[in-house]
Amino acid sequence: MTSTDPDATTPRPATEEAATLLGSPDPWPGYAALLARPGLHYAQPEHTYYVARHSDVHRGLRHPDLAVGFPFRATRQLFGPTAIDLDAPRHRAARRRVSWFTSRHMPTWTQTAVIPVVEDLIERAATDAPVDVVKTFAQPLPTRVICRVLGLPDQEWPWIWQQLRPVIGHIADQRTGMQAALASRDALADRLQHALRIGVPHGSLLARLTAEAPPTSPTERTAEPLRTALLLLAAGTETTAAAVGNLFWCLLRHPHTWDEVADGTIPAEAVVTEGLRLHPPLHSTVRFARRALTLGDTAIPKGARVQLLLAAANRDPSHFGASTSWNPHHPAPPHHAFGGGPHACIGAQLALTELKLLLIALTQHFVLAGPAHPAGGFRAGPFHYPDELPVRLVPRTTPA
Ligand code: HEM
Which pLDDT band, with edges at 50, 70 and 90, does 223 fall under?
confident
Q: Give the pLDDT score at 2.
A: 41
Q: Give the pLDDT score at 66.
A: 98
Cα 307 → chain centroid: 16
Which pLDDT band, with edges at 50, 70 and 90, does 22 fall under?
confident
- How many Å lie between the centroid of ligand 1 and the Cα of residue 234? 10
**Does a structural domain hold residue 117?**
yes
Buried b (16+ CB within 10 A) or exposed e, 283-308: bbbebbbbebbbbbebbbeeebbbbb
**Does a structural domain hold residue 5?**
no
This prediction's pTM: 0.94
- Please state, in angstroms and rounded to a whole number, the distance separating the CA atoms of residues 257 and 91: 40
- How many Å lie between the centroid of ligand 1 and the Cα of residue 343? 8
Q: Give the pLDDT score at 208.
A: 93
For atom 21 of ligand 1, which residue has the closest CA?
345
User: Phi and psi at residue 82, in whole multiples of 5°?
Assistant: -115, 175
* Ligand 1 atom closest to Cα of residue 287: 16
78 compared with 22, residue with greater pLDDT: 78
Q: Are 60 and 306 in contact (CB under 8 A)?
A: yes
- How many Å lie between the centroid of ligand 1 and the Cα of residue 75? 12
**Does a structural domain hold residue 400?**
no
Span between the terminal Cα atoms of the chain, in Å: 53
For atom 2 of ligand 1, which residue has the closest CA?
240
Assess whether pLDDT exceeds 80 at residue 23.
no
**Does a structural domain hold residue 226?**
yes
* Ligand 1 atom closest to Cα of residue 337: 5
Q: Give the pLDDT score at 11.
A: 67
Q: Indicate the top mutation candidate among 288, 338, 353, 385 to test ligand 1's pocket, ranked by most ligand atoms within 8 A of CB.
A: 338
- Please state, in angstroms and rounded to a whole number, the distance separating the CA atoms of residues 143 and 167: 14
Buried b (16+ CB within 10 A) or exposed e, 171-197: bbeeebeeeebeebbeebbebbbebbe
20 compared with 171, residue with greater pLDDT: 171
219 compared with 353, residue with greater pLDDT: 353
**Does a structural domain hold residue 4?**
no
pLDDT digits (tens, 9 = 90+) for 261-282: 999 999 999 999 999 999 999 9
Percent of the chain with pLDDT over 70: 92
Q: Give the pLDDT score at 191.
A: 96
- How many Å lie between the centroid of ligand 1 and the Cα of residue 365? 30
Provide the CATH number for the domain around residue 242.
1.10.630.10
- Please state, in angstroms and rounded to a whole number, the distance separating the CA atoms of residues 270 and 250: 13
Q: Give the pLDDT score at 25.
A: 86
* Ligand 1 atom closest to Cα of residue 231: 35
- Please state, in angstroms and rounded to a whole number, the distance separating the CA atoms of residues 305 and 241: 28
The binding-site residues of ligand 1, defined as CB within 6 angstroms of any ligand atom, are 83-84, 95, 98, 101, 146, 231-232, 235-236, 239-240, 243, 280-282, 285, 310, 337-339, 343, 345-347, 350-351
Q: Give the pLDDT score at 103.
A: 92
Over residues 116-144, the mean pLDDT reads 94
DSSP β-bridge partners for residue 299: 294
- How many Å lie between the centroid of ligand 1 and the Cα of residue 171? 13
Pairing type for strands 48-51 and 305-308 reads parallel
- How many Å lie between the centroid of ligand 1 and the Cα of residue 8? 32
- Please state, in angstroms and rounded to a whole number, the distance separating the CA atoms of residues 200 and 148: 10
The total domain count for the chain is: 1
For atom 36 of ligand 1, which residue has the closest CA?
345
- How many Å lie between the centroid of ligand 1 and the Cα of residue 351? 9
Q: Indicate the top mutation candidate among 345, 353, 356, 358 to test ligand 1's pocket, ranked by most ligand atoms within 8 A of CB.
A: 345
Least confident of 179-183, 207-211, 297-301, 372-376: 372-376
Q: Give the pLDDT score at 21.
A: 73
Domain that holds residue 144: 12-395
Q: Are 350 and 236 in contact (CB under 8 A)?
A: yes
Over residues 19-27, the mean pLDDT reads 77
pLDDT digits (tens, 9 = 90+) for 277-288: 999 999 999 999
Q: Are 343 and 380 in contact (CB under 8 A)?
A: no
- How many Å lie between the centroid of ligand 1 and the Cα of residue 347? 6
pLDDT digits (tens, 9 = 90+) for 389-399: 999 999 998 76
- How many Å lie between the centroid of ligand 1 and the Cα of residue 277? 15
**Does a structural domain hold residue 6?**
no
Q: Are 336 and 314 in contact (CB under 8 A)?
A: yes
Angle at 361 between CA 276 and CA 346, to 5 degrees: 40
Single-letter residue type at 110: T
For atom 27 of ligand 1, which residue has the closest CA?
236
- How many Å lie between the centroid of ligand 1 and the Cα of residue 10? 32
pLDDT digits (tens, 9 = 90+) for 48-98: 999 999 999 999 999 999 999 887 789 999 999 999 999 999 999 999 989
Q: Give the pLDDT score at 3.
A: 46
Q: Give the pLDDT score at 1.
A: 39
With a CB cutoff of 8 Å and minimum separation 6, the contacts of 311 are 27, 31, 279, 280, 283, 284, 384
**Does a structural domain hold residue 2?**
no
User: Phi and psi at residue 321, in whole multiples of 5°?
Assistant: 70, -120
pLDDT digits (tens, 9 = 90+) for 171-201: 988 777 999 999 999 999 999 999 999 999 9
Percent of the chain with pLDDT over 90: 75
Over residues 343-356, the mean pLDDT reads 98
**Does a structural domain hold residue 81?**
yes
With a CB cutoff of 8 Å and minimum separation 6, the contacts of 106 are 349, 350, 353
